[in-house]
Amino acid sequence: MSVPEIRVKGSPYEIGFGHGSQAKDRVRRSIEFYTAYFKDMANVSWDEVRRVSLEFRPSIEQRFPELFEELRGLAEGAGLPLADVMALNVRTEIAFGLQITQATDGCTAMYWRASPKEVFLAQNWDWKEAQADALIALNAAPDGHPRFQIMTEAGILGKIGLNEHGVGCCLNAISATGLDASKLPVHLALRRILNFDSAARAAQFLEKEYPCASAAHILVGDRDTGTGLEFSSTDVQELLPDANNCIFHSNHYVVDHYREDGQKIVDVGPKDSPFRLKRISEITRTLSPTVPSIQSAFADKANYPGSICRQTQGEVESTTLFNIVMDLASAKAHVIIGKPDQRDSAQQLQFVF
């Protein structure tokens, strides 16, 4: 498996156009994948997915015109209707809105501030193996905003990575129904985080100003602090570093969330999620604060195949497609394409500024 690096610069439209034109084949692969995914999971056609996605257009276009211009440029660069690109970028919200409620993700994430010069943000991104062929490494220099580098699915503006100020973000899927089309879709929130020069300001933006439209956990950090933000469509809860300056997350809510009528929100994440959360916390206590040591933690196969480093098998429906370890104090990231336990034979990328 090989992942291309896509380099883009300029205005929001130019950033999107460069992404779409350089990764055209992979954007179309993303559409093929999600067309089949929605059909298999909920017997919903891609035309219906596109129709639902356009409900988000008024809010995005009015409140975040730069993001809308990037979406528009991406669509035109890839030679696709805007609705196709909108659908990719709100695929999380559509899944829950169409009541596809059983999460099959397996992502495990951590923030660790071992010392002022040893600060890390890391995760395994686990998803359907068929989507590996749509991955790209996006290296962007947007006008008027920080440069950033991320791992993402082609056609999706934001996902996992960091900017030149050492502000980074990770994502854990949370499977809980509900969506609010007036709020910010999860993957656009991840893109928007990288416009900030501090994690504290980015977290405030998502917590107080523009929360996410559906369930998810976003972990944002820099050299000074980290914050976990658990979202439902109706609320957001903040997770702060523990006594060891760590935050860990997997694919279930670790604090309670409630709907506006006071009813508790129930998530239906993968059964192995609590195990992975406990396991990464235990392993981290034994680690030295170095990139190779953290990579070894994410190569852990306890409880295989439902492990931190996982494989599609039996009830486990996702596999580890990449590992990323961000050195936030130095604004660098190390990426292993595929499983981190096979890093010696895997493609490896470095994000540097």
pLDDT (0 to 100) of residue 246: 98
Q: 135: phi > 0 → left, psi -120 to 50 → alpha, else beta; which? A: beta
Q: What value does the mean pLDDT of the chain take?
A: 94
Sorted by where each begins, the domain ranges of the chain are 9-98, 108-351
Question: What pLDDT digit, counting tens, does each position of 194-206 carry?
Answer: 999 999 999 999 9
CA dist 200 and 20 (Å) reads 31
Strands 226-231 and 236-239: antiparallel
pLDDT (0 to 100) of residue 315: 86
What top-level class would CATH report for the domain 9-98?
mainly alpha
pLDDT (0 to 100) of residue 297: 98
- Mean pLDDT over 205-226 rounds to 96
Tell me if the domain spanning 108-351 has CATH number 3.60.60.10: yes
CA dist 349 and 352 (Å) reads 10
Q: Is the pLDDT of residue 105 over 80?
A: no
- Mean pLDDT over 9-26 rounds to 98
Question: What pLDDT digit, counting tens, does each position of 25-76 carry?
Answer: 999 999 999 999 988 877 889 999 999 899 999 999 999 999 999 999 999 9
Tokens of 114: 């071992």
Q: Is the pLDDT of residue 1 over 80?
A: no
* Alpha helices (H) along the chain: 12-22, 24-42, 46-53, 57-63, 65-78, 82-89, 91-97, 186-193, 199-204, 273-284, 291-298
Give the model's confidence band at 104: pLDDT under 50 very low, under 70 low, under 90 confident, else very high. low
Q: Is the pLDDT of residue 95 over 80?
A: no
Q: Is the fold of 9-98 the same as that of 108-351? A: no
Question: What pLDDT digit, counting tens, does each position of 252-263 carry?
Answer: 999 999 988 889
Report, in this order, helix, strand and coil percent for the chain, each rounded to 5. 35, 25, 35
